[in-house]
Structure 1
Amino acid sequence: MPFARPRLLYVTDLTYPARGRRYCDEDIHLTSRLREDFDLALCHPKDAAALMDAFEAVVVRNSGPVLACREAHEDFRARALARAMPVYNPLTGRADMAGKQYLLELTAAGHPVIPTVDRPEDLGRLPAADRYVVKPKLGADSLGLRVVTADELPGLADGTVLIQPYVDFAYEVSFYFVDHDFQYALYAPDPERRWELRPYEPAPEDLEFARRFIDWNGLEHGIQRVDACRAPGGELLLVELEDFNPYLSLDALDDTRRDAFVAALKSSLRRFLATGGPAAAR
């Protein structure tokens, strides 16, 4: 007998510690709203592979970096692909979902990103700077990030890390999308307190900047966050494109914008289940 409402397995780590943020609060709020339209159960990332067959789709949200449970995540991913299980966001993302390699690709293609290299022979392609940022290709949440001098770079560029000039930016700003539709933007006026966000009203050129990366990634369904910094010259540069489990900072929104985001997410999930779910997960 078919179920009257779609059944969603919502993957989250309610105990994940985040500096200045309570990820669990966001998921408690979102799941309370999604239950208005879907039958839903929460599970830890380590349990997703074993439980997903009882549901019509898996929604991956604030599951934390997969580095802490990499084997479980790879098992889930392999099983989901083998079963054509609809996973939201779809597993075809080209950005953070697949690691940080995309920053090298975007740099080589001339996109407005913080210049990024990973090999000793390419260090000369970076602009001169007093300091440089070195971070693992498989890193997340600034894990393993170091700030070093130019003299230290040759011994670090071994292909496993990304190297970028340290940008003395004015502020960071994030643009949030559901499918290809812009929802809202938030920024951190104080670079030293990146978790304290305020609403940001983007100029047309800001949205054009953000949309080029959404278009580049090519996901038809899902939530994406374009993180950028305002460089000293006034231009925006991409910091990262989060297409795996972007934290949404819904607590920084007023009720109207929060409700609008939830409505957009519900509509996206219904479209995903009706038209693109199984195909999008292959």
Structure 2
Amino acid sequence: MKTILFVTDLYYPAKGRNYYEEDLFLTSQLRESFALTICHPQDIHAFEKHYDLIVIRNAGPVANFKDEYLAFRERAAANRYKTYNSFDGKGDMNGKDYLLELTKAGYPVIPTIDDVKWIEKLPDAGTYISKPKDGADSIGLERISSNELTSKLSAGEDRNILIQPFIDFEYEVSFYFIDHEFQYALYAPDKQKRWMLTEYVPTAEDLKFANRFIEWNNLAWGIQRVDACRTKQGELLLVELEDLNPYLSLLELQPDIRQKFVENFKHSLQKALQA
């Protein structure tokens, strides 16, 4: 039986959901097919050499253990460790600079800059959002009025911050993929309660939108979550492409959809092990 080092932080205090419940469910399912050990992200170095595959799940934002994460990625490359997700993604696993790239390339993404001197490249807005490039879970996110923008974010002073116009969207919706295959979608009908999710049935146009980012990312294997917002004009815009350890809201799913996801996840893990 193949061995898995399942990396998670069971005590991470996520807003509005319990990470540990999802990972306890997942590990209970994976133990049917793999020999599995749960490991905190700060302890990977002590175990990594002894496992066939290292699976990074609900470990929380890497900003909380950035040095350990970067060191692990270096060791994984040097020692050819098999990781899940694969470390060839271009999304959140490398920070949020990709939002700048996608903006320049004309993708349907919330327009993004990282220097206030480029503010004319953004649509006029009374309010802007600033957030750190290595952030997650809204950590470090701040709303700034247009009058405060220059004083709070001096030109060229901190290129680790992204700046976006504040979007008064209708709702947020997330599309979940294993490898390049769509699995399910969830949305928050009440945008004030972003983690009260319900099933969303995507249109063909919705899936075309989400697949553009999956194809762009070209991840070898792994779970990806395409987060988007629906504007007042009906357009979908990318919020982020989570390709490292996306929370899956598995326990919010109908049992048949959840079980199908688990089986597809196991199949993907086997594919990663054989690569």
Number of positions where the alignment pairs a residue of Structure 1 with one of Structure 2:
271
Given that 1:117 and 1:123 are in contact with CA atoms closer than 8 Å, whether structure 2 keeps it comes out as yes
Query: Hey, what does 2:215 align to over in structure 1?
Result: 215
d(CA) in 2 for partners of 1:116 and 1:153?
14
The equivalent of 1:273 in structure 2 is: 273
| 1:70 aligned partner, one-letter code | K
Q: Out of 94, 97, 101, which is 2:93 matched to?
A: 97
| Residues 207-257 of structure 1 deviation map (CA, whole Å, 9 limit, x = unaligned) | 000000000011021000000000111010000000010000001101100
Aligned partners of 2:222 and 2:183: how far apart in 1?
12
Unaligned runs of 5+ residues in structure 1 are 276-282
Partner of 2:67: 71
Could you say what secondary structure the match of 1:82 adopts? Answer: helix
Distance (whole Å) between structure 2 residues aligned to residue 153 and residue 57 of structure 1: 45
**How far off its partner does 1:50 sit?**
1.8
- Return the TM-score normalized by structure 2: 0.97
How far apart, CA to CA, are the structure 2 residues paired with 1:49 and 1:206?
41
- Counterpart of 1:239? 239
Deviation at 1:169, TM superposition (A): 0.3
1:136 alignment counterpart: 132
Aligned residue in 2 for 1:195: 195
Structure 2: 5+ residue runs without aligned partners? none
Q: Output the CA distance in 2 between the equivalents of 1:18 and 1:272.
A: 29
Instruction: Report runs of 4+ in structure 1 exceeding 6 Å deviation.
Output: none
Q: Could you tell me how far apart the structure 2 residues matched to 1:160 and 1:32 are?
A: 39
Measure, in 2, the Cα distance between the counterparts of 1:80 and 1:220: 16
Structure 1 residue 68 displacement after superposition: 1.5
Structure 1 counterpart of 2:180:
180
For residue 253 of structure 2, what is the amino acid of its counterpart? L
CA contact (8 A) 1:60 1:244 kept: yes
1 CA distance for matches of 2:87 and 2:188? 30
One-letter amino acid matched to 2:57: R
Paired position in structure 2 for 1:278: none
Q: Which residue of 2 aligns with 1:163?
A: 163
Counterparts of 1:7 and 1:163, CA distance in 2: 42
Tell me how far apart the structure 2 counterparts of residues 146 and 120 of structure 1 sit (CA, whole Å): 15
Decide whether the 8 Å contact of 2:177 with 2:184 is kept in 1.
yes
Question: Letter of the aligned partner of 1:119 in structure 2?
Answer: D
2:258 corresponds to 1:258: yes
Q: Distance in 2 between the 1:145 and 1:110 partners?
A: 24
- Return the alpha-carbon distance in structure 2 between the equivalents of residues 255 and 160 of structure 1: 41
TM-score norm. by structure 1 comes to 0.94
Q: What pairs up with 1:122-133 in 2 under 5 angstroms? A: 122-133=118-129
Contact residue 49 and residue 80 of structure 1 kept, 8 A: no
Does 1:121 pair with 2:126?
Answer: no
Per-residue deviation, 1:91:
1.2
Equivalent in the alignment of 1:228: 228
Residue type of the alignment partner of 1:264? N
Opposite residue 117 of structure 1, the aligned amino acid is I
